[in-house]
Structure 1
Amino acid sequence: MTPVTVGLIGIACLFGLLIIRTPVAFAMLAVGFFGYWTLEGSRSAGGVLLTESYSAVANYNLIIVPMFVLLGNISAVSGFSRGLYDAAFAWVGRFKGGLASASVLGCAVFAAVSGSSVATAVTLGRVALPEMRRLGYAPSLSTGAIAAGGTLGFLIPPSTGFVLYAVLTEESIGRLFMAGILPGLLLTGLFMGAIWIVATLDPKAGPRGEPVPLGKRFRVLGQAAPLLAIIVISIGGIYAGVFTPVEASGVGAALVILLALTRRRLTFAGFREAVLNTLSTSAMLYMIVIGANVLNPFFAITRIPEALGDSLVELGFGAYGTLFVIIIAYLILGMFMDGLSMLVVTIPIVFPVVVAFGFDPIWFGVVAVIVIEMGMITPPVGLNVFVVRGVAGDVPLTTIFRGVMPFLIAMILGLLLIIAIPGIALLLPNSMFG
C-alpha cells in the first residue's frame, strides 16, 4: 500500500474510534503509533512515541492552560462569577431581553477568565438560568443565550482553542490571543443584537427587567471591579508587552487567589475543588496534545496534507472557494465531534493548504475557532447544548436547539464580516507585534 492509502485508512480508523466514543487523545495515539509502525517499523514508531510525548509535555507554553483554568475555577468557587453577572444585569437588564443580554455579557467576561467554553456555560448557566426562569423568560431564549454565550470561552483570550492551535501550528500564542479580542467583542454585540430582535418580535420571550438606579449600578460594578482589573492586568499586560502569555497566566492565577483570600471567599474545600478540577482539565488537554504530537508525524510521512492541497488546487476553486470548502467541512464535522477533537484532528491536514493559498495563519486561527464554536451549538452533538441541558434540568434538547438558531445566524454574520474584513482579527496583533 502507498503511504497515502495508509493515511486514508488511518483517518477512517480515527473517525471510527471517535464514533464509538474512544477518548480523542487515545484515538490519536493509537492511530499515530500503529500507522507509523505500518510505514516505518516498530523501532521508529517507538522512538516517535517517546520523543513526541516528552516534547509535548515539556512545552513551556502549555503552562498557560493550567494557570488560566485555575484562575477560572477559583473565580467560580469564590462566587466572583455571580458578581460579573449582577454587574452586567444592572446595566443592561432594563432593555428588551436584558437578562439574556446580561448573561451573554457575563459569559464574555468570564470567558476572559476561564478560557473554557464548557466552564463558561456551566458557571453562568447556574447563576442566570434560575433568574431568567423567575422573570418568565422563554426557555428557548434563556438556554440559547447561555449555550451561545458559552462558546465565547473558545474565542476570547485566554482561549484553550488558541493555545492548542498555537501548539499545533507553531504560531505565536500572544498574537492569537490578541487576534481573538475584537472578534470576541463583535460576536458578543451580535449575540445581544439577536436577543433584542427575538425580544422585539416576541416581547413575552424576553421581558424587561426592573430599572436599576445609577448609584446602585456603579456600586455593583465596583464590586466586580477587582476581578475585571485582574482580567485587564493579565490580558492588557500581554498587549503592553509587560508579560509574556505564560507570565500573564501565572500573574492572573496568583492575583485571583489573593483576591479570594483577602475577601474571605475561598475556603479550603473550595480551593481543593478548584485545584482538582484544574488538574482534571489540564490532564485531558495535555493528553490531547500528546496524541496530536504522535499523530502529526504519521500524517507527515503519509503526505496526506500535500495530496489534499494538490487535490484542492486541481479543483480550481481558488483561495476563497477552497476556504469555503474547508468551512463547510468543519460545519459538517461539528455535527458529530467536539471542538477540541476537530481542532487537533483537522489542523495538521488543512493548515498547510491554507498557508499555501496565502491566507494569514493568525487570521485563519480565528476563522477556524469561530467555525468550531458554531459546532458547539449545532445538532446532533452540540456540546454546549448538552451542558446547558444538564444545568437547566427539565428543558428539552429540541427547545435549546431551537433557541440557539438566532445565535447561529449571528455567528455566520460575524464570520462573514471577519472574512470580508481581515483587519477585525489582525488589527491588534499587527499593532502589538508590528
Structure 2
Amino acid sequence: MTVTIVLLLLVVFLVIGLPVALAMSVAGAAGLYLLGGSGFLVGILRTSPLSTANSYEIITIPMFILMAEFVILSGVARDLFRAATIWVGRLRGGVAMATALAGAGFGAISGSSTAAAATLASTSLPAMIEQGYDPKLAGGVVAISGTLAMLIPPSIALILYGIIADIPIGELLIGGIIPGIIVTLAIILTVAVLVRIEPAAAPAGRAYTMREKFASLTRVGPMLVLFLSVTGVIYSGIATPTEASGLGAFVAMLLAMWERKLTLRTFFEALRSTAQTSSMILLIILGAHIFGYFFTLSRVTNDLTAWVGGLDAPPMAIMVVILLGYIVLGFFMDQIAILILTVPVMLPLVTQLGFDPVWFGVIIVVTAEVGMVTPPMGMNVFVVARYTRRPLGELFRGVMPHVWAHLIVIALMTIFPALILWLPSTM
C-alpha cells in the first residue's frame, strides 16, 4: 500500500510539472517517512547529498559538458556540416545526409543531445530551406540527427547509466560507437528512401572537385584530434573516462582559443552554463538516490525480480516488453529521469534474465533517442521548433519515418547483441 501511495504521489508531481529532482526527492522522502518515521528520514537526508556527490566518476559529467560548451563556442559544428555537404551534397537529399554526418561528428565531441539539435538547427536547416528542401524533411532529419549525441561517446546518458548501474563507464562509451554508426546510416538510408519516393522534397546539389573535397577535410582535423583525445585514450586504456573528460575539456578549450573565439566573457559564460547544467543533473541524481533508498527498503526490486523469475515466458519475450515500456515512457518523460528512475529497478531483473548490463545500457539509450523526437515530450523537436520557428506538427510528421527506422535498429541490436558488445570486448 505504501509503495502505491508513493508512486501515485510521484506521478501527480510529474503531471503538475514539478521538476523531476524535486518530485523524486519529495515522493521518496514521503515513502521513507511512512516506512520508518522522522528520525529514519532525517538520517538518510543527512547522508544522501555527500554520498551522491562523493563519487569520482561524477567528475566526468561537468567536464564533458564544459567540453561541449567550448566546442559550440569554437564553431567546429559548422565546419563539420560544410565538409559533409561538400562530400555528399551532390546527391539528391545530400545536404540532409550531410546533416546526419555532421550530427554524428558533433556527437563525437559533445554529449548533449539538445545542444547538438540546437547547433544543427542554426546551421544545416537554414541551408536546406534555402536550397528548396521540403521543411518537413529538413526539420525531421535535424531533430533526429541531434539525438546521436546521446549515443556516440562522450555520452552523458551512458555516463549516468554507468554511475547508477555501477559498471565500467569506459566499456559503455566504447559500446556506443558501432550502434552510433548504425543509427547514422539508418538516418541516411531513410533520407534516401524519402527522396526516392518524393523527389520534389529535395533537390540535387552541386558537384565539387576532389581538390575541394580534400581541402574541406582540413577543417575536420580538430574534431578528430578532440575525438582521439577522449574516445581514443579510453579505448586504448591510456586514461580512465574521468581523466579523458578533463583532457577533452582542455583540448576543446585550446581549440576555441585557436579559433580566436575564447574571450574572458565567453569563458565565464561557458563555465556558468556548465555549472547550471551540472547542478541540475546532480540534483536529479540526489532525488533518485532518495527515491532509490525507498525502493530498496520497501523491497520493490526484490519482489519484482522474484515475480518475473516465476513467469513462464522466454527471456527475450520479457526483454521485448521491457523495451516497449521504455519507448512508451519516452513519450511522456525526460530521458535522464527515465534512466534514473528505472535502472535501479530493471537492472537486477535484466541481469537475472541473462542479459549483459553493458548491452542493456546502450539499448535503452537508443530507445531513449526515440523519446527525444516523439510527442508529447519530443525535446529535440521543441528545440528545433524554437530555433527555426517552424510548426511543431510539421516537424513531428517529418521525424516519424526516422522513428520507424530507429525501431528497426533497436530490433537488430536486440537480436544481435554483438553489435554492441564486440568493440568493448576488444579493449
TM-score normalised per structure 1:
0.96
CA distance in 1 between counterparts of 2:61 and 2:108 reads: 13
1:8 deviation in Å?
A: 2.4
> Equivalents in 1 of 2:63, 2:149: separation in Å?
15
Aligned to 2:12: 16
Q: Distance in 2 between matches of 1:136 and 1:360?
A: 46
Residue aligning to 1:412 = 407
d(CA) in 2 for partners of 1:304 and 1:96? 54
How far has the Cα of 1:203 moved from its partner?
1.4
Q: What are the residue-to-residue correspondences of 1:270-289 with 2, within 5 Å?
A: 270-289=266-285
TM-superposed CA distance for 1:224, in Å, is 2.2
Residue 238 of structure 1, CA deviation: 0.4
Number of the residue aligned with 1:32: 28
1:214 has 2:210 as partner: yes
Per the alignment, in what secondary structure is the counterpart of residue 41 of structure 1?
helix
CA distance in 1 between counterparts of 2:286 and 2:196 reads 49
What are the Cα deviations for residues 125-168 of structure 1, in whole angstroms up to 9, with x where unaligned? 11111101100111111111111111111111111111111111
For 1:14, give the aligned amino acid: L
Rounded Cα–Cα distance in structure 2 between residues aligned with 1:265 and 1:306: 53
Give the alignment partner of residue 387 of structure 2, picking from 388, 391, 409.
391
Q: CA deviation at 1:268?
A: 2.5
Q: What is the distance in 1 between the residues matched to 2:265 and 2:74?
A: 11
Query: In the alignment, what sits opposite 2:416?
Result: 421
CA distance in structure 2 between the aligned counterparts of 1:47 and 1:153, rounded to whole angstroms? 39
Q: Contact between 1:157 and 1:235, CA under 8 Å: does it hold in 2? A: yes
1:316 to partner: Cα distance: 2.2
Amino acid at match of 1:196: A
Q: What is the rounded CA distance, in whole Å, between the counterparts of 1:47 and 1:221 in structure 2? A: 58
Which residue in 1 is equivalent to 2:345? Answer: 349
Q: Give SS of 2:133's match.
A: coil
Q: Which residue of 2 aligns with 1:239?
A: 235
Q: 1:227, 1:256 within 8 Å by CA — same for their partners in 2?
A: no
Query: How far off is 1:298 after superposition?
Result: 0.5
**Residue aligning to 1:194:** 190
- Residue 59 of structure 2 aligns to a residue whose secondary structure is helix
Aligned to 1:325: 321
Q: Is the 8 A contact 2:74 2:259 kept in 1?
A: no
Distance 2:39 2:208 in 1: 69
Equivalent residues in 2 for 1:47-126, closer than 5 Å = 47-126=43-122
Q: Out of 352, 363, 377, which is 1:367 matched to?
A: 363
Shift of 1:263: 3.0
SS of the aligned residue for 1:343 comes to helix
What's the counterpart of residue 142 of structure 1?
138
> How far apart in 2 are the matches of 1:96 and 1:374?
26
Q: Extract unaligned runs of 5+ from structure 2.
A: none
Structural mapping, 1:104-183, within 5 Å: 104-183=100-179
3-state SS of paired residue (2:132): coil
User: What is the rounded CA distance, in whole Å, between the counterparts of 1:227 and 1:108 in structure 2?
Assistant: 11
Question: SS where residue 208 of structure 1 aligns?
Answer: coil
1:259 to partner: Cα distance = 2.0
Sequence identity (%)? 39
Contact between 1:87 and 1:221, CA under 8 Å: does it hold in 2? Answer: yes
2:417 maps to 1:430: no
Shift of 1:208: 2.2
Write the distance in 2 (CA, Å) between the matches of 1:115 and 1:28.
Answer: 24
Instruction: Kindly provide the CA deviation profile for residues 226-245 of structure 1, in whole angstroms up to 9, marking residues without a partner as x.
Output: 12211122111100011110
Deviation at 1:376, TM superposition (A): 1.0
Deviations 1:264-316 (A, max 9, x none): 22223322222221111111111111111111111001111222223333442
> Contact 2:154/2:230 (CA < 8 Å) preserved in 1?
no
CA contact (8 A) 2:229 2:251 kept: no
* 2: CA distance, partners of 1:96 / 1:58: 52
**Local SS of the residue matching 1:91:** helix
Alignment partners' CA distance in 2, 1:149 and 1:323:
27
> What's the CA shift for 1:216?
1.4
Give the structure 1 partner of residue 373 of structure 2.
Answer: 377
Instruction: Give the Cα–Cα distance (whole angstroms) in 2 for the partners of residues 141 and 270 of structure 1.
Output: 34
1:18-53 alpha-carbon deviations (Å, 9 max, x no partner): 111111111111111221121022222122122221
Unaligned runs of 5+ in 1: none
Q: Contact 1:61–1:246 at 8 Å: present in 2 too?
A: yes
CA contact (8 A) 1:72 1:110 kept: no
Contact 1:234-1:252 within 8 A present in 2 as well: yes
Amino acid across the alignment from 2:126: P
Letter in 2 for 1:58: N
In structure 1, how many angstroms separate the alpha carbons of the residues matched to 2:398 and 2:256?
35
Deviation at 1:336, TM superposition (A): 0.9
Residue 9 (structure 1) shift: 1.9
Letter in 2 for 1:415: I
User: Equivalent residue for 1:290?
Assistant: 286
Residue type at the aligned position of 1:100: A
